[in-house]
Amino acid sequence: MTTASNTPGKKGYPKFVHTNRSVEYKTSGWKIDADGRHILFTDGCGIGRVRLVGTRAIETFPLKQIKRVRLIKRADGFYVQFCVRAERVVEHIPTGDIVGIDVGLNAYTTDSDGKTVDNPRYLRKAEKRLKHLHRRLSRTKKQSRNRMKARKRFAKAHLKVQRQREDFARKQANALVTSHDLIAFEHLKITNMVKNRHLAKSINDAAWGGFLAWIGYYGAMHAIPIIKVAPHFTSQKCSRCGTMVKKSLSVRTHICSCGLIMDRDENAARNILQKALENGTAGQAGTTTP
C-alpha cells in the first residue's frame, strides 16, 4: 500500500527498529482508522496520520492478526507493509507427478522430464535503459534539481526490474507446486556462487533464491513435500548407470559410456529427484504427503 501524504520525520525513533530505508513497528505505536483508509502513528516520532492508498482492505483483518507494521521507502513512494498471521491452506489436487528441478543459466529451470522454462532476461533487456539513465545521472551537476530527478528515474527503473523478477519467480513457483505432488531441488549456496564475477549477473538476474523460497511457501500451502538435496555430483553422475562423467561448466551434454546422451541439466534434475527419493522425506523442509 502506498501512502500518499506525509513523510517520516527525522526525530528520535523510540519504540521501533529503524533501518536504512524502513521503520518497523510491532503491535503498538500505530492505529488504523475504522474505515481502513488511514493509519496513525502514535509514538510521537513525527509521522502522524497517513492516508493509505491501495487495493487491499486491511480493516478486514482482525487487529490481533497484524503482527508487524513496516514503513518502507521505495523509489516511487512510501509503503506500509502489514505482516498478517494467517493460515492459508489450499486443497492440493493430486497430479501423480513428481519432479526434480535444476536451476541454471541456460534455462530458468530444467526438470527431470526434460521440460525447460526459459530464463527471463529482464535485467539484460532493461540494462541498456539503466545504463542510459545512469550516464545521464552522472552528467548532472551535484546537488542540482536535475540530479535529483535523474536519480529518481534511475531508481524507479531498477525497482521495476526487481518487481518483474519477483513476479515471475512467484508465478513459476505456484505453477510448479500446483502441477506436482513432490518437488526436489538442489540446496544451492547462492552467496558463494555470486562471488564468481562472471556468473554473478546471470544469477542475480534469475533470482533463484526468491524462486526457491516461493516453492517452499507454496509447497507448505499445498502440503506437498519439498525436498532439498545436497548439491554433490548431481551434474557429473550418470542418472541411468551412476558412472561419474566429469565435465566442465561449458559442456552442455551428458554423454555416458552406457549410451545415455542427455541435456546436462536434465541429467542433473533426474539425479536430484533420485537423491530426494532415496533420502525419503527425511530431507529438510519436507512435509508428509497428504
Footprint of Zn ion on this chain (CB under 5 A)?
238, 240-241, 243, 256, 258, 260
Q: Is residue 265 flagged as an active site residue?
A: yes
| Least Å from the CB of residue 100 to Zn ion | 17
Which parts of 91-247 are beta strand (E)? 98-103, 107-111, 116-118, 182-186, 226-229
**Nearer residue to Zn ion within complex by CB, 90 or 241:** 241
Q: Select which of 102, 111, 181, 205 is catalytic.
A: 102
**Nearer residue to Zn ion within complex by CB, 15 or 240:** 240
Q: Select which of 111, 186, 205, 266 is catalytic.
A: 186
**Nearer residue to Zn ion within complex by CB, 133 or 256:** 256
Q: Which residues pair with 40 in a beta bridge?
A: 31, 49
Backbone angles phi, psi at 65, to 5 degrees: -80, -15
Pairs from 18-26 (Cβ < 8 Å, separation ≥ 24) = 21/72, 21/73, 21/74, 22/70, 22/71, 22/72, 22/73, 23/70, 23/71, 24/68, 24/69, 24/70, 24/71, 25/68, 25/69, 25/70, 25/71, 26/67, 26/68, 26/69
Q: Select which of 111, 181, 265, 266 is catalytic.
A: 265
Q: 84: closest CA among 45, 58, 46? A: 58
Backbone angles phi, psi at 187, to 5 degrees: -80, 105
**Nearer residue to Zn ion within complex by CB, 71 or 238:** 238
Residues in the chain, how many?
290
| Least Å from the CB of residue 260 to Zn ion | 5
| Least Å from the CB of residue 102 to Zn ion | 18
| Least Å from the CB of residue 97 to Zn ion | 25
**Nearer residue to Zn ion within complex by CB, 96 or 259:** 259
- How far is the C-alpha of 216 from the C-alpha of 227, rounded, in Å? 9
- How far is the C-alpha of 215 from the C-alpha of 20, rounded, in Å? 29
Q: Is residue 102 flagged as an active site residue?
A: yes
Question: Under DSSP, is residue 82 helix (H, G, I), strand (E, B) or coil?
Answer: strand
- How far is the C-alpha of 136 from the C-alpha of 151, rounded, in Å? 9
DSSP secondary structure letter of residue 59: G
Q: Is residue 76 flagged as an active site residue?
A: no
**Nearer residue to Zn ion within complex by CB, 92 or 254:** 254
| Least Å from the CB of residue 277 to Zn ion | 18
| Least Å from the CB of residue 238 to Zn ion | 3
Tell me which residues are annotated as active site.
Answer: 102, 186, 265
